[in-house]
Structure formats: C-alpha cells, structure tokens
A and B are shown apart, each in its own frame.
Chain A
C-alpha cells in the first residue's frame, strides 16, 4: 500500500491533557476513512492535525511523504457540522469565493467577465451537489441539508486531495441523511478524493467508509483521566462489506464504546 497519509507514533497533548497517543497508520490515496469513538476522545483533534490548525506534539504526520503543512491550505478541504458556509454570501458567491481568492490577490473579488467565469465554475459544482435551484438564495434560506451540500460544493471547488468531514450530518434529520450519504459517495468517486469523516453513527461509518477507525483509550488512570490519550483501537477494512460480519462488529464495538462511555462520559455545558 502506497502511503499517501502516514501516521507515525503520532501523539497530541494540550499541556497535561494527553488527547491522542501512539497513532500508527498508513492511508492510501482514494480511501474513505470513517472515524468513530466516544465523545471527547480526540476525533476532532485528529482532523485538526490533518488540517494544520493544531500541531503535532510528537511523532510524525506525513502527507505524500512530507510533514503536513502547519496551516489550512486548499489541498485539504473541510466540512464542519455547522458554520461551514458564509451567511453574508449567496449560494453561488459562497462557492465562487474560492476562485476569487486565487485570482484577485488584493481585493479577493472579481468583476466583469472574470467574475462571470468564476460563477459559471461555481454553478457546475452546484449541479453536482443538487443545488442548482437555490443558486441565488442565502444560507439562512436553506435547510440544514442544503447548507451541508453547499459546504461540500464550496470545498470541492478547490479540487482538494483530501476532504475532512467532522460529523457533517450530525445536525440533520435522519430522513435527510440517506440522500447525503449517496451524495458524498458520489462525490468521492467522481473527484477521486481521500476522505476522513468523523461520525457518531456507527452504522453510517460502516455504510460509507472503505475503512473504519475506532478511537479509544486503552489505558486508564482513574485518578487522572487526562493522563493517557486515545489511540486507534480498531482499524477495519470495509472493502468486502459482509452483512453478517458488519453486524457482529457493530455489536462488539458498541459494547466496548458503551462500557467506556460510562466512565468517561464528559461534562456537557
């Protein structure tokens, strides 16, 4: 397997709070990795490392053989659960913004013919995510599902190699999720993306991914819960998707996460 993304004894801590430790993995280009794990176990933190908004504490995180850039850049797109789109721009402008940033260094804004071209480019992607009808709407006029479609289109206009999804459907009605799944799978194939997607829904993880990572702590210190971090406890290949196997795996993981949840259930505020 050629390693596009490589994790090598990767660890991350915030001061004394060890969040991730000893992550070792290789991911090939074009894989669809889904990440599950209890709340607060460090899934989002891992995505932040990939994104470059947080830096590695020890070990290595390589992309195409080089340490990952320490800042967000267009080669790694992201869709968050919320706030991924710009409320003050309409749908087309939201998508075209990525083009404008490149072509207009000082104003970040295009005019006349070049603007038209950028918008045309945006329209293409909007068709791909099924938003052609909503081109002139503002995000607040869109449903949650449509906003996430928009966020996807926005990310894809930069033709990223890696797409990071942090619970992208967590705030959507279950009824809408199915459509979104089809959409993401379609885009993944069409654009040849490498996707890392965090989800709380184990079944979603099984359904979408070619590979599923379970994050969990293997060591616990009851007196200092922050002392040890999570690591990847399961790394399942989902290429075959055998139904019976899947169900068994789900049950096992569920039981395990469930047990862990009881002791580490975090404070909500």
Chain B
C-alpha cells in the first residue's frame, strides 16, 4: 500500500493540515517517502471520525476522548501519531446572566452531548461539588450554538472555539469555567490506524515530518496564520484569538515531554471513567478499564484489549531531526 488518505475537520489546531495540503508541504514529504497522501477536509467533525472508523480513511484528526469512544470502542485500534495541542481555554462553560459556576445549578445547558464539551462540563461541575444530575443537558449542534445562544431560552452553554469567542462578544456572556482550569486534558491528536502504521512506517514519517515543517512556518510567519484563519471562515485576528487559548506544541520536543509525562495516563483515566459512565465504551464494557490505553508511562486498563495507543517514536524522530 502506498496510497493513503487522511481526513480533518475545521478546528484551530487542525488548520495546519489545510495549509500543508494547499501549499504542497504534505505532497513534498510524501514524495520523499515515496508514497501518496490524500488530505480530505470534512465539514462535520463527527462524520470525519465515523468515516475513519468505518474504514474510509487511514488517519483522522480528533480529540483523545473521541478517539477512545468512537474508533477504539469500535474495535479500530488507533495510534496517536501526533499530539498537536491541548485546549487551554478553547473550551468553556458560558453563562448568560450569572457570574459564577455554582449558579449553573438547575439550568439547562446546551452543548454537543457526549463530546469534550460534555466532559468539560462534568469536570466543571465536579470542581464546585455538583454533578450532572443538577443540570439538564440539551444536545445542540455545534454549527447552531451561536444562534442558539442568542435565543431567550438558552442560559448556559458549553462549547469550543471559535464559538466561544463569538458568544463572548455578546454583552452579558460570562465565561465561568474553561479548559485552562484542567490543562492538558482535552488533547487534539492525529489518529492513525495502528495496523496501517505498523505496516507502513513511511506514512508516519511523512506525516510527522510535514507536520513539524508546517508548525515552524506557523510559529514564525504571521501570513501563514492569516491563511489558516481565512480557511476556517474568519480572519487573522479571529484565528489568533483562538490560538491564544490553545497550547500548540510547535516543536516536537514539547509534544514529547507532554506525551511522556505520567500525567497523560491520569488524564486518560478521567476520560475513560467519564466515557464509561455515559455508556460510551459499548455495551460489553464491564468497567472503565475495559479498553486498554497505552501511554509511554504505562497502560491504563485492560492490557489484553489495547485499542488506543500514544506512540512517541515518530515525534522522537522529528525531535532528533532524523526525518
């Protein structure tokens, strides 16, 4: 196999894929390793993961939580090839009239159910001694979140950027909790099918190589960020505002440090517990550890059923400059 396809959807941390595709950086690296890589943009984030899980793509950008609950829970063994960033304020709980998180009690909270927003809300509630039972969750599509917030019925939302920034522009909107308060828990990655990656290390090398070339351009050149902003439907200022609340790993060594730290395993344990509580690990799951998660610091859960892996080896090659 020397032809691969990866898919991505519009999100601040994944716009580099668009840039790499548009400027030929990805093709350049693919040529270097003598393979072909199709980069496909999918509007709908969930659809992109579903397509990946159903076998249409070899790699897909997604959060670590969705990687656990969709492909991993569906038996598609996936490896986090690149950990690109974590949300550092990009996801937030916003109240319309109240000033503190505790006021959320009894309200209807609009969010994309079972997504990282849901997770963030659960973590936020925990932090003030509440639980999900104290609020009513209303599933709301992300595309309509901003419009939804403008309606009278909606008093609380939990969502991500760029929606957070749009909503905060409305007078009276108060951010009462955000992902900066749980740093490193909402992780944006590129997932590759483990099977494919093992059979084709060149794919991993090409993708990682291309990624860090884009990263260095992105870090140093404002016009690159302007390009990405425009491609995501806003402008440079809007995009920079989103970047401000995203902890990008511009260099491979930063990413490595993050992945190798034992905290990643703790984070994934939280995520697994949340997912299990909401029935996301499948009907067969007996406990939160039903699906094994391998991290450099060790394995969480059932080591006989590892479906999600964090593999630092390719990022190490990038850090070593051996690509």
- A/B contact in complex, CB under 8 angstroms: no
Residues on A lying within 8 angstroms of B by beta carbon are: none
